[in-house]
């Protein structure tokens, strides 16, 4: 098992260079990704946003070695994705919690530890710590079907963090939840990552601009299929824990949707001023002018 050691902070968590992916379909080749290049620093949270079908989840799956890459190169802490997967460098959480129905909450969280051969006493202590961190300490012996959707997702996060992964991959983990539960988990996630032995790098897929701003250190904006990186935006905002409510309320300042890619355009500058969130030079707000679209730069009425 790969231990997440401090010397790993001297190299990029993820390096992607010239990555392309094409699927063979009955109708012919379908290009999903085209010449994608990205770097993710250790401990950095990177959000991937873009229109549906642009290849966000495909990119995440390629990084996680859940399917073979096409052309180009992917390195995870200096290893190829398969080697990183075999070394258990990853923690992964999907839109659905994917808990095993016949195992208790504690047993689901313990599964990666069991597969890694962690001794029972150490495994039990680690699971107890994780359940406490995600607020499920009183539900260790509860089966998944008796947990709410938010509690199931918390258990999935705990399982993803069980082996102190160097890299956490999140594929729209909040999208299936109700708004109140989603906001609660969005607020809790940064604290949960901060409690990790060493904060992992995170790549997460989302369709929510508000969620991306609130959680990410940097946003990679992808084009429509075949997906490529249109721009990378560094988020330079105050401590997220102190401004969670204000950032969530930014979403109420919506402008018309872009007629080309159907993405809402939000006047961040106005919202930031309304809730005393100071915009920073080079940050996201300069890309969200109320007359242009973040994804295709087409003017909106």
Q: Is the pLDDT of residue 237 over 80?
A: no
Of 261 and 157, the one with more pLDDT: 157
Of 21 and 277, the one with more pLDDT: 21
**DSSP-assigned letters across all residues of 128-195:** HHHHHHTT-GGGTT--GGGS-HHHHHHHHHHHHTTT--SEEEEESTTTTS-HHHHHHHHHHHHHHHHT
Q: Is the pLDDT of residue 236 over 90?
A: no
Return the pLDDT at 10.
Answer: 55
Tell me the percentage of the chain whose pLDDT exceeds 90: 36
User: Worst-scoring range by mean pLDDT, 55-69, 84-98, 151-165, 169-183?
Assistant: 169-183
Q: Which helix (H) or strand (E) holds 273?
A: helix 268-274
Whole-angstrom Cα distance, residue 59 to residue 55? 6
Given pLDDT bands bounded at 50, 70 and 90, which one contains residue 74?
very high
Return the pLDDT at 182.
Answer: 75
CATH code linked to domain 1-89+165-235: 3.40.50.300
Which DSSP symbol is given to 268?
H
User: Worst-scoring range by mean pLDDT, 29-33, 91-95, 251-255, 257-261?
Assistant: 251-255
Of 197 and 109, the one with more pLDDT: 109
Rg (CA), the chain: 20
Residue 48's nearest CA partner among 207, 159, 269 is 207
Return the pLDDT at 193.
Answer: 77
Return the pLDDT at 286.
Answer: 39
Q: 179-194 vs 149-160: helix axis angle to the nearest 10?
A: 20
Alpha-carbon distances, residue 276 vs 250, 267, 270 (angstroms) = 11, 14, 10
pLDDT digits (tens, 9 = 90+) for 157-209: 889 989 888 899 999 888 777 777 777 777 777 777 776 666 889 999 998 88
Q: Distance from CA of residue 46 to its chain's centroid?
A: 7
Q: What's the chain's average pLDDT?
A: 77
Return the pLDDT at 274.
Answer: 36
What are the residue ranges spanned by the domains of the chain? 1-89+165-235, 102-163, 240-301
Query: What average pLDDT does the segment 37-62 reach?
Result: 91
Given pLDDT bands bounded at 50, 70 and 90, which one contains residue 108?
very high
Given pLDDT bands bounded at 50, 70 and 90, which one contains residue 35?
very high
Given pLDDT bands bounded at 50, 70 and 90, which one contains residue 113?
very high
Residue 155, C-beta contacts closer than 8 angstroms, at least 6 positions apart:
97, 99, 105, 108, 109, 134, 136, 144, 147
pLDDT digits (tens, 9 = 90+) for 285-301: 433 433 444 444 444 44
Return the pLDDT at 123.
Answer: 94
Q: Is the pLDDT of residue 212 over 90?
A: no
Query: What average pLDDT does the segment 57-69 reach?
Result: 91
Q: Is the pTM of this model over 0.85?
A: no
Q: Is the pLDDT of residue 59 over 50?
A: yes
Whole-angstrom Cα distance, residue 207 to residue 194? 24
Query: What average pLDDT does the segment 217-233 reach?
Result: 90
Return the pLDDT at 242.
Answer: 46
């Amino acid at each position: 098992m790969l231990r997440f050691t401090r010397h790993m902070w001297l190299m990029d968590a993820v390096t992607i260079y010239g990555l392309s992916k094409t699927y063979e379909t009955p109708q012919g080749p379908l290009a999903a990704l085209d010449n994608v290049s990205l770097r993710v620093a250790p401990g950095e949270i990177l959000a991937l946003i873009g229109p549906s079908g642009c290849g966000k989840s495909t990119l995440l799956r390629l990084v996680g070695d859940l399917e073979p890459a096409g052309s180009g190169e992917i390195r995870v802490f200096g290893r190829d994705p398969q080697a990183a997967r075999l070394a258990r460098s990853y923690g992964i959480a999907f839109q659905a919690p994917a808990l095993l129905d016949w195992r208790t909450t504690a047993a689901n969280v313990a599964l990666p530890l069991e597969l890694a051969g962690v001794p029972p006493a150490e495994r039990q202590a680690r699971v107890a710590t994780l359940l406490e961190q995600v607020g499920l300490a009183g539900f260790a012996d509860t089966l998944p079907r008796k947990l709410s959707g938010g509690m199931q997702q918390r258990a999935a996060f705990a399982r993803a963090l069980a082996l102190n992964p160097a890299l956490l991959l999140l594929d729209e983990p909040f999208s299936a939840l109700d708004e109140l539960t989603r906001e609660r988990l969005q607020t809790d996630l940064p604290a949960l990552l901060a409690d990790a032995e060493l904060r992992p790098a995170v790549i997460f897929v989302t369709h929510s601009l508000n969620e991306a701003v609130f959680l990410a250190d940097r946003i990679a904006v992808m084009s429509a299929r075949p997906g490529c990186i249109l721009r990378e935006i560094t988020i330079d905002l105050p401590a997220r824990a102190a401004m969670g409510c204000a950032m969530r309320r930014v979403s109420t300042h919506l402008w018309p949707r872009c007629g080309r890619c159907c993405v809402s355009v939000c006047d961040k500058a106005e919202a930031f001023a309304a809730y005393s969130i100071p915009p920073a030079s080079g940050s996201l707000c300069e890309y969200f002018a109320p007359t242009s679209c973040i994804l295709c730069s087409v003017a909106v009425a």
